[in-house]
Amino acid sequence: MTGLRLFISSAVFAVAIATAYWSIAHEIVGTFLLAFMAFALTFVAGYMIVAEREADLAGDLTDARVADAAGELVGTYSTRSPLPLWTALAITCVGLGLVVSPAVAALGVIAVLVLGAFFIVQSR
């Protein structure tokens, strides 16, 4: 599986970078974030092994062509929804609020939760 190899090799790379970063900088936050990235990549690889082992993806074929995946249904997406824009702005408020003001961050978190509920309602 091509995707599985990609996630495993990326996780190994993230562990190597986290180790090198710690040995050079001795900075815990950056090391933690790199280690978290390795954990997330490992989690996705584990999910692929456990839950998606029977997935028949066109990209996993050794002689795959673009035409093999043509017409494949990958989901239904609303092209006229304003929710992605508002969600991006809410997430920006959360990030900016962490730097400037906790009140702005709290408003951003509330907006993200409300918009998440709207996403769920819109997807049904």
Percent of the chain having pLDDT more than 70? 85
Task: For residues 12 and 61, state if they share a domain.
Answer: yes
Q: What pLDDT, on a 0 to 100 scale, did the predictor assign at position 52?
A: 74
Residue indicated by tokens 């090391």: 31
Task: For residues 41 and 88, state if they share a domain.
Answer: no
Sign of CA dihedral 64, 77, 121, 108: positive
pLDDT (tens digit per residue) in 56-73: 666 666 777 777 667 766
Confidence of residue 6 (pLDDT cuts 50, 70, 90): very high
pLDDT, greater one: 55 or 28: 28
Task: For residues 58 and 8, state if they share a domain.
Answer: yes
The answer to whether residue 88 sits within a structural domain is: yes
Does position 54 have pLDDT exceeding 80, yes or no? no
Task: For residues 60 and 90, state if they share a domain.
Answer: no
Nearest alpha carbon to residue 83 among 111, 107, 118, 109: 118
Task: For residues 52 and 18, state if they share a domain.
Answer: yes
How high does pLDDT run on average in the chain?
86
The answer to whether residue 102 sits within a structural domain is: yes
CA distances from 5 to 9, 31, 46, 68, 118 (A): 6, 24, 11, 21, 36
**Side-chain half-sphere CA neighbours of 27 within 13 A:** 9
| Domain endpoint, select from 45, 68, 91 | 68
Percent of the chain having pLDDT more than 90? 57
pLDDT, greater one: 99 or 54: 99
Q: What pLDDT, on a 0 to 100 scale, did the predictor assign at position 41?
A: 96
Q: What pLDDT, on a 0 to 100 scale, did the predictor assign at position 68?
A: 67
Does position 105 have pLDDT exceeding 70, yes or no? yes
Task: For residues 63 and 87, state if they share a domain.
Answer: no
Instruction: Answer for the pair 83, 118: CB distance below 8 angstroms, yes or no.
Output: yes
Structural domain boundaries, residue 101: 83-123
Average pLDDT over residues 93-107: 92
The answer to whether residue 74 sits within a structural domain is: no
